[in-house]
């Protein structure tokens, strides 16, 4: 073999070896893909997703499925370049920078705890929204779950503190407290009136700027409700707040005679406020794929996600705009009866 041929052969092997090594090099990205769906009026592991005790319930038909997004990657298990490349060429998944899912200054355990609390808050907010829709009264208080290490609230607010007022404004829900904090400029102080044990006291907490410039104190809160009957939601390892709308609809369907779905296979997504407002979520494209794969023909879409969803909707899946729980119920009524307006998502 000539020296030139040997050189080319060795060079080829070197390029191949470098390519193989590079393909398995870890990269700071996360792959988002369609996750499992769960029928909120069905069962998981032979247990009802929604169980209601102490109140009459009614039979349901069809499906009201929540949808999820699965992910690969993260600080504790980074993906390799080859996995990222496969994701980039797959139209059903998304590859996003790791920091968009896991903030650089956040401990993964803190993120997991926050997701768990968000799911619990979402379930409680869903129940509250359903009861508000049915005009059934209940009680609620905002409590402290934990404070972030190194943030201003640490050592000032304590676990299980009940927040009564923020800067003199009644803490009607978690969002009211959060909005009151965000109304300050970083460096200003917030006055929390809390019940701690048997005492009521004012706690002054300075604010700082977060990574995105937002004002924060570093407190994780949870709304604790006292409902007139028990609503238990069982969804296994699903985390985050994006199933709120579908939980509310599932609760409503069980509490009211007749069927919301009319036997149709319906899926959807969206956060929910106790007052019934439906909020935007992430991963809408992957969630629509999961809905279609589960057999759904209708997909309830938060109004703020409509433009994005309309550009990526799978064939055979009808997008229905949902801005409030009440309007979502009316849309389902119109779909079932063929009477009334069914608000559609569009790209506008």
Q: Rounded distance, CA 254 to CA 279, Å? A: 23
Paired with 47 in beta bridges are 44
Alpha-helical (H) ranges within the chain are: 3-23, 81-89, 108-133, 174-182, 244-255, 284-293, 306-310, 325-337
Whether 248 is catalytic: no
Residues 225, 226, 227, CA angle at the centre, nearest 5°? 105
Record the tokens describing residue 141, joined without a space. 């208080």
Whether 242 is catalytic: yes
User: CB–CB of 342/266 below 8 Å?
Assistant: no
Q: Rounded distance, CA 234 to CA 30, Å? A: 27
Residues in the chain: 348
Using a 10 angstrom Cβ sphere, with 0-12 exposed, 13-18 middle and 19 or more buried, the burial of residue 336 is middle
Q: Are strands 63-72 and 29-39 parallel, antiparallel or unpaired?
A: antiparallel
Which string of b and e fits 95-128 if b means at least 16 CB within 10 Å? bbebeebbeeeeeeebbeebeebbbbbbbbbbbb
Collapsing DSSP to helix, strand or coil, 49 comes out as coil
Which one is catalytic: 151, 156, 264, 287? Answer: 287
- How many CA atoms lie within 13 Å of 63's alpha carbon, on the beta-carbon side? 20
C-alpha closest to that of 203 among 176, 163, 242, 259: 163
Which one is catalytic: 33, 65, 146, 242? Answer: 242
Residues labelled catalytic: 242, 287
């Amino acid at each position: 073999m000539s020296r030139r041929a040997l050189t080319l052969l060795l060079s080829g092997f070197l390029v191949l070896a470098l390519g193989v090594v590079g393909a398995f090099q870890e990269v700071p990205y996360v792959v988002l893909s369609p996750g499992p769906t769960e029928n909120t009026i069905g069962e998981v592991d032979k247990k009802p997703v929604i169980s209601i005790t102490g109140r009459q319930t009614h039979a349901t038909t069809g499906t009201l499925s929540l949808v999820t997004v699965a992910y690969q990657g993260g600080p504790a298990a980074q993906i390799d370049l080859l996995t990222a490349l496969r994701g980039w060429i797959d139209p059903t998944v998304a590859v996003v920078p790791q920091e968009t899912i896991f903030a650089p200054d956040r401990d993964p355990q803190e993120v997991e705890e926050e997701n768990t609390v968000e799911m619990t808050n979402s379930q409680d907010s869903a129940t509250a929204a359903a009861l508000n829709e049915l005009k059934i009264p209940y009680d609620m208080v905002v409590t402290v779950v934990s404070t972030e290490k190194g943030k201003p609230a640490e050592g000032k607010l304590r676990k299980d503190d009940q927040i009564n007022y923020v800067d003199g404004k009644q803490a009607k829900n978690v969002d009211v407290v959060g909005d009151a904090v965000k109304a300050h400029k970083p460096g200003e102080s917030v006055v929390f009136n809390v019940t701690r044990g048997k005492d009521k006291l004012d706690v002054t907490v300075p604010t700082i700027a977060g990574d995105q410039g937002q004002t924060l104190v570093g407190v994780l809160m949870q709304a604790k409700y006292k409902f007139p009957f028990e609503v238990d939601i069982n969804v296994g390892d699903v985390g985050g707040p994006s199933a709120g709308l579908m939980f509310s609809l599932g609760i409503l369907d069980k509490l009211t005679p007749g069927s919301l779905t009319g036997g149709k296979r319906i899926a959807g997504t969206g956060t929910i406020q106790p007052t019934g407002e439906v909020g935007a979520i992430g991963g809408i494209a992957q969630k629509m794929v999961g809905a279609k794969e589960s057999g759904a023909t209708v997909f309830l879409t938060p109004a703020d996600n409509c433009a994005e969803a309309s550009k990526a909707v799978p064939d055979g899946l009808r997008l229905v705009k949902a801005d409030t729980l009440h309007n979502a119920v009316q849309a389902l009524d119109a779909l079932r009866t063929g009477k009334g307006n069914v608000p559609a998502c569009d790209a506008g």
